[in-house]
Amino acid sequence: MEQSAVLTMRGICKFFPGVRALENVDFTLREGEIHALMGENGAGKSTLIKVLTGVYPKDGGEIHLKGHDAAVNIRSPQDAQNLGISTVYQEITLCPNLTVAENMYIGRTKDPTVNWKKINADASKLLESLAIPAKATQQLGSCSIAVQQMVAIARAVDMDCKVLILDEPTSSLDEQEVAKLFKLMISLKEKGVGIIFVTHFLEQVYEVCDRITVLRDGKLVGEYVIEDLPRVQLVSKMLGKEFDDVADIKSEADTENIDYNGTPVYEAEQLAGTTGIKPFDFQIHKGEVNGFTGLLGSGRSECVRAIFGADKVNGGTVKVNGKTVKINKPLDAMKNGISYLPEDRKRDGIVGDLSVRDNIILALQVMKGFFRPFSRAQAEAFADEYIKLLSIKTASSDTPIKSLSGGNQQKVILARWLLANPVYLILDEPTRGIDIGTKVEIQKLVLKLASEGKSVTFISSEIDEMIRTCSRLVVMRDGKVVGELSGDDFNQNKIMATIAGGESK
Amino acid sequence: MTVSDNKLKTKNPVLGALGKLVQNQLFIPLAALLVLVLFNLIADPSFFKISLDQSSAGYPVLSGYLITIIDNASELAILAIGMTLVTSASGGQDISVGSAIAIAGSVVLRVLCGTDSRPTELKAPIIVAFIVCVIVSMIFGAFNGVLVAYFKIQPMVATLILYTAGRSIAAWINNNELPIISEPSFGYYGNFIPGIPLPTPVFIAAACMIIIALILKFTNLRLYSQSVGINPYSSRLNGINPQVVKLITFIILGACVAVAGFIKVSRLSTINYSVVAKDIEMDVILAVALGGNALSGGKFNMTASIMGAYVIQFLTTTLFKFKVNANAISAYKAVVVIILVVLSAPIVREKLMQLKKKIMPGSGVRKEVA
């Protein structure tokens, strides 16, 4: 399969204030191939795509396109469009209240008059040639999401595109819809279109892709032909751990004092959520630190959200300290001594305009009740205590939390949940996007809490961080719990093999 | 501006204090009030004269423009309380306030007069009429609140329903008649209580302010509504029910509407459904905006909102005093409002700060040294 390259990116750099989002990244897309772009959160996938489509100006490097002698300069999405680079995003960006044909041709003619007959005929022909099950005159909104996705692709293809970028197109599709989409992708590939496929579903990568480029921390890990890269290797490349490495990182968790035969602090049986996870069993003992692991989108966050009642729960029984309880909303969980530090700090964690003090006391205050506010002095005492305890860097407890750095914001949220004095603390990616010093501080804090008899669930994308802090890992893949590792099985190789699943069995 | 800036340059402590004052949310309404006071002082100092006159009933009462202002601003101030809370929690405004006042007033008349449009004696105690009026207004408030909180309709669109229908409902409650209450004691609430020289609405407004101050002190209403207005997602994960909080703020506004409506009926012993409190919602929203509160919700300053209400009434009365045609008043108001709102917009304030830095680059450095 030696095809000529349709797109070559060389030494692409992109800096954001304080962050190197992309460092010397090379990427080559050949004619008629489906090329997966893989990497965990923050690896630089979306930044690379945005540089390619002109959303961000690049800070270094060159982009070459087939048919252009010199390096091309892409300054805006419109430029990219004109050069034949089209993008279809995860969310549909078309208008559901227009017809399929209108959506395909809207904004593309400079003609002041519109020949609807011709447009409808052209659209029908294109839909037919791509085997998309939609009528040109049908309202887009009446099609399924998958078909809408396909119409977006058809629109892109018809604009004479040579490079088609599909940014997580399958995340809201069911299996049959995915199959239909893949059929379309393969037929486009046969027509010579180069497709960049961004996804975090491993299975799908191995189903349709020819090559894989892996990014990590803004750097290129490598480009591989799919046959040469088994799944386990891919996972280890994405996570940045050599599979054959002797796992020298040991758990620092102290498991001696945990009474595994006693009543679990929290126990769930066949807990089912509405967010696409399969029912699962889970339990945690006093003083234990456990983790949920799996790649992005594997459902690890959804599981802990279900435990906390953050998303709707629709089945299963939950016991706290052996007593059956109902947890339907966060307040129920809080009253049962469960705390939850959410994954998305900005959206779910901080209350931006409120002061550090109000952010710290919020959870405890809500638990205490609407009619029993803390006195100002009491609130200040709480805030000062935790600002000191976690060494939060803030001008004063009156400072709005949004003006703090990410790491300090995270500490404030942590302070909020420590103040609530939970028996079971769930930390979902507490160390994401914060400096290394704070990361270590948080890991130490987790171990200290466990030694004080609290139970902690710790989730992190960094495997060694998990190994260091947890004594047991629940492994997830595609919304299912696929394994539970502890004791002798608790090492990197085993964990990565379980995450990857498939052939590694 | 430049005069004060020069002063700042020479005296550092003053710079700090004045800078703080400019940053303070109360600055805009206070500054506006100051401008209005100065304007009146220069144009005609008699504006501030307060005299002791005889009321038509023969009691001594205070009169003067200032009294008119604090009297007429009462309804506005009371409504500003509720509107501030609604704005904070829902990030939108209730535009049905005027229509809801018509309903509240109509309910009072219906309870006091029965079906008789010219009753010689009251059909029910005044307190009963008041309580019924509060309950009905809170139900209508809850109606708005449910649309906003549970059906997730934009507040302005949701309250457009009652805005449109309210005055018809008010007319329908009294069979499209305009009953007049002849009982003089009913007029006490909108005018004067014999022997007390200050108009009663002033006391009612003060009572409402005390009540809301107590509520804000002894409950978590402020924390809850701010937090819901700023970030409903994280509020929910902290155990707050954003929908209930939004609903409560609309119900509180309903109670404020009832009090304001009651004062309105009492002032004239009757109301005209189609003109009573017309466009008052716009003045109320302005009061909130003038107080420097973000109309997109979140943090709020209740004192600043109430101050805003008095500033608006001060402006209206000033315009009346200078014999501006009643029909033209809105236009004058609009001009003043544009200036105030633009000045208080964060974007402008930021630009002004930058400008200040550019003009006096030394001031920042000196601050650091100090």
- Any idea where the domains of chain B sit in the sequence? 27-364
Q: How far apart are CA A289 and CA A419, in angstroms?
A: 19
- Evaluate if residue A463 carries a pLDDT over 90: no
Edge-to-edge strand list for the sheet holding A455-459: A338-341, A424-428, A455-459, A289-293, A472-477, A480-486
Q: What is the pLDDT of residue A425?
A: 95
Nearest CA in chain B to A376: B217
Closest CA to A465 of A422, A430, A415: A430
Residue from B223, B235, B244 to probe the interface with A (highest A Cβ count within 10 Å): B223
CA distance A381 to chain B (A): 18
Which tokens is A469 given? Answer: 């802090």
> How does strand B51-54 pair with strand A19-30?
unpaired
- Evaluate if residue B93 carries a pLDDT over 60: yes
Mean pLDDT to the nearest integer, B314-331 = 86
Task: Determine, for residues B238 and A370 on separate chains, whether the beta-carbon distance falls below 8 Å.
Answer: no
Q: What is the pLDDT of residue B366?
A: 39
Q: How far apart are CA A74 and CA A55, in angstroms?
A: 9
Q: What is the pLDDT of residue B104?
A: 97
Fold of A249-337+423-437+453-505: Rossmann fold (3.40.50)
Which tokens is A18 given? Answer: 């304080």
When CB atoms are compared, the residue of B231, B239, B298 closest to A367 is B239
What are the φ/ψ torsions at residue A340 (nearest 5 degrees)? -140, 120
Mean pLDDT to the nearest integer, A176-181 = 81
Nearest CA in chain B to A345: B234
The DSSP bridge partners found for residue A222 are: A214
Task: Determine, for residues B239 and A358 on separate chains, whether the beta-carbon distance falls below 8 Å.
Answer: no
Residues of A in contact with B234 (CB under 8 A): 342, 347-351
Task: Determine, for residues B220 and A373 on separate chains, whether the beta-carbon distance falls below 8 Å.
Answer: yes
Specify whether the CB–CB gap between B77 and B306 falls below 8 A: yes
User: Which of the residue ranges B99-108, B127-136, B180-189 would you say has the lowest mean pLDDT?
Assistant: B180-189
Q: Where are the domains of chain A?
A: 5-229, 249-337+423-437+453-505, 349-421
What digits encode the pLDDT tens for the residues B252-303?
999 999 999 999 999 999 999 999 998 899 999 999 988 888 888 999 999 9
What digits encode the pLDDT tens for the residues A43-93?
788 889 889 988 888 888 899 988 888 888 888 888 888 888 888 877 667
Residue from A307, A366, A412, A416 to probe the interface with B (highest B Cβ count within 10 Å): A366
More confident residue, A147 or A194: A194
Maximum average pLDDT range among A236-245, A289-298, B140-149? B140-149
- Evaluate if residue A401 carries a pLDDT over 70: yes
Task: Determine, for residues A331 and B239 on separate chains, whether the beta-carbon distance falls below 8 Å.
Answer: yes
Q: Exposure pattern of A117-156 as b/e (b: 16+ CB <10 Å)?
A: eebbebbbebbeebebebbbeeebeebeebbbbbbbbbbb
Q: What is the dihedral of CA B340, B344, B348, B353, to 10 degrees?
A: 120
Q: How far apart are CA A155 and CA A149, in angstroms?
A: 10
- Evaluate if residue A504 carries a pLDDT over 70: no
Kindly report the number of other CB atoms within 10 A of residue B264's CB atom. Answer: 23
User: Which of the residue ranges A358-372, A407-421, B37-51, B326-340 would you say has the lowest mean pLDDT?
Assistant: B326-340
The helix (H) or strand (E) run that includes residue A468 is helix A463-469
Task: Determine, for residues A352 and B230 on separate chains, whether the beta-carbon distance falls below 8 Å.
Answer: yes
Mean pLDDT to the nearest integer, A325-334 = 93
Q: Exposure pattern of B124-140 as b/e (b: 16+ CB <10 Å)?
A: eebeebbebbbebbbeb
Mean pLDDT to the nearest integer, A125-149 = 83
Specify whether the CB–CB gap between A461 and A241 falls below 8 A: no
Residues of A in contact with B226 (CB under 8 A): 351, 353-354, 358
Task: Determine, for residues B220 and A370 on separate chains, whether the beta-carbon distance falls below 8 Å.
Answer: yes
Q: What is the pLDDT of residue A67?
A: 83
Q: How confident is the model at residue B363 (pLDDT cuts 50, 70, 90)?
A: very low
Q: How far apart are CA A495 and CA A489, in angstroms?
A: 8
Q: What is the pLDDT of residue B4?
A: 40
When CB atoms are compared, the residue of A308, A349, A370 closest to B224 is A370
E strands, chain B, where? 51-54, 60-63
Q: What is the pLDDT of residue A188?
A: 87
Task: Report ipTM (2 d.p.).
Answer: 0.83
Chains A and B: how many Cβ contacts under 8 Å?
73
Kindly report the number of other CB atoms within 10 A of residue A459's CB atom. Answer: 26
> How does strand A85-88 pair with strand A163-167?
parallel
Specify whether the CB–CB gap between B49 and B63 falls below 8 A: no
Task: Determine, for residues B238 and A329 on separate chains, whether the beta-carbon distance falls below 8 Å.
Answer: no
Task: Determine, for residues B234 and A340 on separate chains, whether the beta-carbon distance falls below 8 Å.
Answer: no
Task: Determine, for residues A330 and B298 on separate chains, whether the beta-carbon distance falls below 8 Å.
Answer: no
- Evaluate if residue A391 carries a pLDDT over 90: no
CA distance B242 to chain A (A): 12
Helix (H/G/I), strand (E/B), else coil: A426: strand
For all residues of chain A together, what is the average pLDDT? 85
What digits encode the pLDDT tens for the residues A333-368?
999 999 999 988 888 999 999 999 999 999 999 999
User: What is the pTM (predicted TM-score) of this model?
Assistant: 0.75
Q: How confident is the model at residue A209 (pLDDT cuts 50, 70, 90)?
A: very high
| One-letter identity of residue B189 | Y
Most distant pair of Cα atoms in chain B: their distance: 78
Identify the burial level of B35 via C-beta atoms within 10 angstroms of its C-beta, where 0-12 means exposed, 13-18 middle and 19 or more buried. Answer: middle
When CB atoms are compared, the residue of A334, A342, A348 closest to B239 is A334
Q: What is the pLDDT of residue A40?
A: 73
Q: Exposure pattern of A284-323 as b/e (b: 16+ CB <10 Å)?
A: bbbbbbbbbbbbebbbbbbbbbbbbbbeebeebebbbbee
Residues of B at the A interface, defined by Cβ within 8 angstroms: 217-221, 223-224, 226-227, 230-231, 233-241, 298-299
Mean pLDDT to the nearest integer, A228-250 = 69
| One-letter identity of residue A37 | L
Nearest CA in chain A to B223: A358
Task: Determine, for residues A329 and B240 on separate chains, whether the beta-carbon distance falls below 8 Å.
Answer: no
Q: How confident is the model at residue B365 (pLDDT cuts 50, 70, 90)?
A: very low
Residues ≥6 apart with Cβ < 8 Å to A457:
A284, A289, A290, A291, A292, A304, A307, A424, A425, A426, A427
User: Which of the residue ranges A52-56, B308-312, B337-341 would you say has the lowest mean pLDDT?
Assistant: B337-341
E strands, B11-119, where? 51-54, 60-63
CA atoms lying within 13 Å on the CB side of residue B278: 7
HEC letters along A28-84: EEECCCEEEEECCCCCCHHHHHHHHCCCCCCCEEEEEECCCCCCCCCCCHHHHHHCC
**CATH number, domain B27-364:** 1.10.3470
Task: Determine, for residues B234 and A334 on separate chains, whether the beta-carbon distance falls below 8 Å.
Answer: no
Specify whether the CB–CB gap between A195 and A229 falls below 8 A: no
- Evaluate if residue A432 carries a pLDDT over 90: no
Q: How far apart are CA B69 and CA B205, in angstroms?
A: 13
Edge-to-edge strand list for the sheet holding A280-284: A280-284, A266-271, A317-320, A323-325
Q: How far apart are CA A241 and CA B133, in angstroms?
A: 71
Q: State the Cα angle at A198 between A192 and A201, rounded to 5°.
A: 115
Q: How far apart are CA A70 and CA B129, in angstroms?
A: 84
Domains A5-229 and A249-337+423-437+453-505 belong to one CATH topology: yes
Specify whether the CB–CB gap between B156 and B95 falls below 8 A: yes
Mean pLDDT to the nearest integer, A290-297 = 83
Mean pLDDT to the nearest integer, B51-72 = 87
The helix (H) or strand (E) run that includes residue B140 is helix B126-149
Q: How far apart are CA B174 and CA A366, in angstroms?
A: 45
Kindly report the number of other CB atoms within 10 A of residue B215's CB atom. Answer: 14
The count of residues in chain A is 505
What digits encode the pLDDT tens for the residues A479-490?
888 888 887 777
Mean pLDDT to the nearest integer, B324-351 = 78
Residues of A at the B interface, defined by Cβ within 8 angstroms: 308, 310, 329-331, 334, 340, 342, 347-354, 358, 362-363, 365-367, 369-371, 373, 416
Nearest CA in chain B to A335: B239
The count of residues in chain B is 370
Q: State the Cα angle at A441 between A436 and A446, rounded to 5°.
A: 125
Task: Determine, for residues A310 and B224 on separate chains, whether the beta-carbon distance falls below 8 Å.
Answer: no
Q: What is the pLDDT of residue B344?
A: 65
| One-letter identity of residue A363 | A
When CB atoms are compared, the residue of A330, A352, A363 closest to B231 is A352
Q: What is the pLDDT of residue B150?
A: 95
Q: How far apart are CA A329 and CA B237, in angstroms?
A: 8
CATH superfamily, domain at A5-229: P-loop containing nucleotide triphosphate hydrolases (3.40.50.300)
Nearest CA in chain A to B237: A330
Residue from B238, B245, B293, B299 to probe the interface with A (highest A Cβ count within 10 Å): B238
Q: How far apart are CA B219 and CA B223, in angstroms?
A: 9
| Residue that has been written with the tokens 């050949």 in this structure | A30
What are the φ/ψ torsions at residue A209 (nearest 5 degrees)? -85, 155
Mean pLDDT to the nearest integer, A161-168 = 87
Q: How far apart are CA A414 and CA A420, in angstroms?
A: 10
Mean pLDDT to the nearest integer, B11-38 = 74
- Evaluate if residue A451 carries a pLDDT over 70: yes
